[in-house]
Chains A and B, each alone.
Chain A
């Protein structure tokens, strides 16, 4: 008899969703749907608000990546008002956004993803969580909690508030960095860089080899990729050009201001969330796993696929090793975990680079601003993908129109496809157990939605 399996809520992810798996009379998977439940309407309710206030409103889109919304929004407002922050203002913004990447990846690996690998995909749910990990491996758990806290408190000290920041202001940054703070942060960051590198070493020794079969099979399909690169083609998180790569490795580059010419969003009946696709490929949109159309992925695996290299030495060495093993572009979905930790090493290396430049302590941090009519697109690479804020303002500097493409949403289509692939691979003759259903969720967790 046909039946429906309803995995709800999807857990150990940042957002709200559920999975519906339809089984036919023979117990085979006939269809899968990933429902995205949330619709809040930021695009509408920022209308009429003073543009300079919006970076303190849209940061509430996400409590894990508020710094990225905050910075993309500040960049968009700057462009509406035609203002360019002074170099120290730019650097402080970039430092804050880079630090947010750095701590976020530790959070995802240790708190959200590790339980599947450390406790095992089919361990009982009561222990397959960070609390179980902490009991099984108290030393590592304590260290992870301490290190992530140290990284997070750098953000708190820098901007006053680590969750839902107000540190970015139109035209620059809220306050100058003191040299004593710079030196204090540098000392901490050197410890954090080592921990980040140790985390990657731990994963390469204890996680990826043990689960190689799973990595090679779970949630796998071929797609294109989207990410940001600097003018030398290196990985960039704060500013650069967008690079949209096809599955065969060919790519186009474009200015973030032109995103509308390249990206579209499809509306599907079973999800509030719209599903971005590559409109510029002119092939339409389809999540058919055997014949996908317009499907690309974003987030860390995409970024390290589209970039030619990484400008910092330790992350570049890791990228070399990764490419040698998996090629470019690497397609295996669970490699997101590996890519995320490479990017974490880069984030700490780059944060140190930014602080080693004493210009970051310059007291000229905010340009003079006058409200005016304009349009601006602000874009950063958020941990979960390319984040786009696009605003228009009236003569008084009030928002008249907003369009947002949020990082996670780029992967909504791919997540649907990975779930479909995983369900068909794992469910035979209608037989399911908790381990199988959790493995299907692991295909989602790799994307860190």
Chain B
């Protein structure tokens, strides 16, 4: 019998859902094995009944509930709680769901500061009210899923690589064991490391790293951190390269920015990176600013509004 699956996107961009679509032909195989009972991006099951006359959000029972996105407003919270109630297993898909993701950069500000800027840009008409009619209220911050509901499986990534989405789905359907190693991006990076201590200052990514001919293999390029570029590889969970293994930023000769979140679920990419820099003898004062080190993992109270 096909597994019943419900899927929801909360404070999300749809990138995780596109990653599922990017399974390509594997998607058609998956669709033979699962029965989607709720998935707003693809299917018209409605919260308040198909005639829109219900009073409460309802999602059908399912074996597996997949949720992308963080929890930012009252409706996200209600949907997340209903998903938890109706689904045996909850999967947090993508780094917004596991660690807040990019939208958790908002946690550096009070809601009022965000609303004030958004409703006062140079193209915006002045209004003597803030919208509130029929729309959910903002929570005080952007929350990872496990701050509000119990999560059974974490599949981070911004976006998660389709290969990993496939392995994750296959594991949930009981087809293979779920094996996501607690490795770092560096553990899977083929660039050459020659040792610590040669670089003292970081430079901003304003010019390309050094490498040979355009077709020079990645395993002949020097480690980007050792070239003096901030690379979050040491403190970022591996997996972005999918079955191809080579990290996807590095293959484009671009430094990692941490999109899979910390190596361990409860890690802190900011503290980890500052430690990594210090232990390499790199002056942390050469970083242009610090909050960007938590750009993918600012939930769990790691980013908070600055004290006035």
Q: Please give, as numbers and ranges, the residues of chain A lying within 8 Å of B215 by CB-CB distance.
A: 178
Residue in A36, A125, A161, A260 whose CB lies within 8 Å of B43? A125
Q: Chain B interface: which of A194-202, A227-235, A367-375?
A: A367-375
29 A-B contact pairs sorted by A residue (CB < 8 Å): A8-B46, A33-B134, A37-B135, A38-B11, A39-B118, A41-B103, A44-B113, A44-B114, A48-B289, A49-B292, A52-B204, A60-B102, A63-B12, A63-B16, A63-B18, A129-B43, A131-B31, A131-B43, A142-B28, A149-B25, A152-B22, A163-B159, A166-B252, A174-B253, A265-B121, A267-B124, A268-B131, A270-B134, A390-B122
Q: How far is the CA of A57 from the CA of B106 in the complex (A)?
A: 12
Residues from 221 to 275 in B contacting A, C-beta threshold 8 Å: 240, 248-254, 257, 259
Asked whether A160 lies within 8 Å of B248 as measured between CB atoms, the reply is yes
How far apart are B111's CB and chain A's nearest CB, in angstroms? 8
User: At the interface, yes or no: A64 with Cβ under 8 Å from chain B?
Assistant: yes
User: At the interface, yes or no: A9 with Cβ under 8 Å from chain B?
Assistant: yes
User: At the interface, yes or no: B195 with Cβ under 8 Å from chain A?
Assistant: no
> Closest A-chain residue to B135, C-beta based?
A35
Q: Chain A, interface size: which category?
A: 35 or more
User: At the interface, yes or no: A354 with Cβ under 8 Å from chain B?
Assistant: no
Q: Chain A interface: which of B143-151, B169-177, B205-213?
A: B205-213
User: At the interface, yes or no: B184 with Cβ under 8 Å from chain A?
Assistant: no
How far apart are A170's CB and chain B's nearest CB, in angstroms? 6
Residue in A43, A57, A60, A64 whose CB lies within 8 Å of B118? A43
In this complex, which of A107, A274, A369 has the most chain B Cβ atoms within 10 angstroms of its Cβ?
Answer: A274
Q: Please give, as numbers and ranges, the residues of chain B lying within 8 Å of A44 by CB-CB distance.
A: 106, 109, 113-114, 117-118
Residue in A6, A12, A60, A270 whose CB lies within 8 Å of B101? A60
A interface with B by C-beta (< 8 Å): 3, 5-9, 11-12, 14-16, 18, 20-21, 33, 35-41, 43-45, 47-50, 52-53, 56-57, 60-64, 66, 107, 111-112, 125-126, 128-131, 134, 141-142, 145-146, 148-149, 152, 159-164, 166-167, 169-171, 174-176, 178, 259-260, 263-272, 274, 276, 279, 285, 363, 366, 368-371, 390, 396-398, 403, 405, 432-434, 437-438, 441
Q: Please give, as numbers and ranges, the residues of chain A lying within 8 Å of B158 by CB-CB distance.
A: 60, 164
> Closest A-chain residue to B240, C-beta based?
A161
Q: Please give, as numbers and ranges, the residues of chain B lying within 8 Å of A441 by CB-CB distance.
A: 44
Q: Please give, as numbers and ranges, the residues of chain B lying within 8 Å of A125 by CB-CB distance.
A: 43-45, 50
User: At the interface, yes or no: B53 with Cβ under 8 Å from chain A?
Assistant: yes
User: At the interface, yes or no: B40 with Cβ under 8 Å from chain A?
Assistant: yes
> Closest A-chain residue to B104, C-beta based?
A45
> Closest B-chain residue to A15, C-beta based?
B14
User: At the interface, yes or no: B42 with Cβ under 8 Å from chain A?
Assistant: yes
